[in-house]
Amino acid sequence: MQEEQTKNDNSGQAQAETPAESKREQSSIQFPYGDLDDAVQLAKAVHEVGGQSCQVEQLAGHLKVAASGGAFRARLAYPRVFGLVEAERGTISLTQLGLRIVDPNQETAARIEAFLTVPLYKAIYDKYKGYTLPPPAALEREMAGLGVSSKQKDKARQVFDRSARQAGFFWAGTDRLTLPVVKAKPETRPIEETSDSTNGSGRNFGGGGGNGGGGGLGLDPLLMALLGKIPPTGDPWPKDQRVRWFRTFAMNVSQIYDTGEEVVDLSINLPKDAGQ
């Protein structure tokens, strides 16, 4: 069981199968066995222990569990699948999304992005956006068609339901996934991080003036905060971070400008064979 759990942890999934069952059928699409609240709780624990990162054994001590325990190792997989943490050589670190989700001013928007980071959840959202979700049994068959093993589909559907609710996607009704509306907060980013009108890159994002909501460009404060996250020209900006930034920016543009009659659907992904 320990050997099987290690294999699943490395693949970013927390499977709940015996080795014999796993040989017969494995899921081919990523999804967590813990819900979004579980993942956020782990991310906040990392933040409480070490800020941006900590040792796995330190996190286990903080949670008062054994670092070598199978249950703890399985829990570590949850925030990884939601895109909140990365683990390497015994260190668990918050991603940019993880840092946002532990910030009360940004948690709501970050939860939306985290939900859509899960490949299974994104596939279901894309397919049923604007439509009624199928009943539980049919939804489980849909998940099986997307790559969830038959022995895991019931658990996967239950965790999906909880995570969708925790991310706010059921605000218009529990029979459909509806992108939540996030009201921008002027204090989303610290003033000292966005007060430089050129952002250190020679690009002017509006400077002073205006009503303080868009840096002189008349843009929503949340969009201005995201623009302020772009690294200066010449600085490295890894592909996966760029993809997350574009997804977040597109999502917030839709939240601010889309109407019921005019909805823009964008899909931003790296090519499957793209290197890091």
Banded pLDDT at 11 (limits 50, 70, 90)? very low
Q: What is the pLDDT of residues 87-106, one digit of tens each?
A: 888 899 999 999 999 999 99
Residue 155 has pLDDT above 90, yes or no: yes
For 118, residues 6+ apart whose C-beta sits below 8 A from its C-beta are 30, 31, 32, 81, 82, 163
pLDDT of residue 227: 82
Q: Could you give the residue range(s) of every CATH 1.10.10 domain in the chain?
A: 2-101
Most confidently modeled of 154-163, 183-192, 225-234? 154-163
pLDDT of residue 24: 59
180 in Cβ contact with 113 (< 8 Å): no
Query: Which comes out higher in pLDDT, residue 196 or 172?
Result: 172
| Separation CA 230–CA 212 (nearest Å) | 20
Q: What is the pLDDT of residues 101-148, one digit of tens each?
A: 999 999 999 999 999 999 999 999 999 998 999 999 999 999 999 999
Query: Which comes out higher in pLDDT, residue 138 or 240?
Result: 138
167 in Cβ contact with 111 (< 8 Å): yes
Percent of residues, the chain, with pLDDT higher than 70: 74
Overall size of the chain counted in residues = 276
Range in 38-52, 168-182, 198-212, 240-254 with the lowest mean pLDDT: 198-212
Mean pLDDT (the chain, rounded) = 79
Query: Which comes out higher in pLDDT, residue 152 or 205?
Result: 152
Query: Which comes out higher in pLDDT, residue 15 or 147?
Result: 147
Averaged pLDDT for residues 218-246: 80
pLDDT of residue 124: 96
Q: What is the pLDDT of residues 182-223, one digit of tens each?
A: 876 554 455 454 444 444 444 444 444 444 444 456 677 777
Most confidently modeled of 16-20, 22-26, 244-248? 244-248
CATH code that applies to domain 2-101: 1.10.10
pLDDT of residue 3: 40
∠ CA(141), CA(40), CA(65), 5° rounding? 100
Banded pLDDT at 41 (limits 50, 70, 90)? very high
Q: How many helices (H) and strands (E) does the chain have?
A: 13, 3
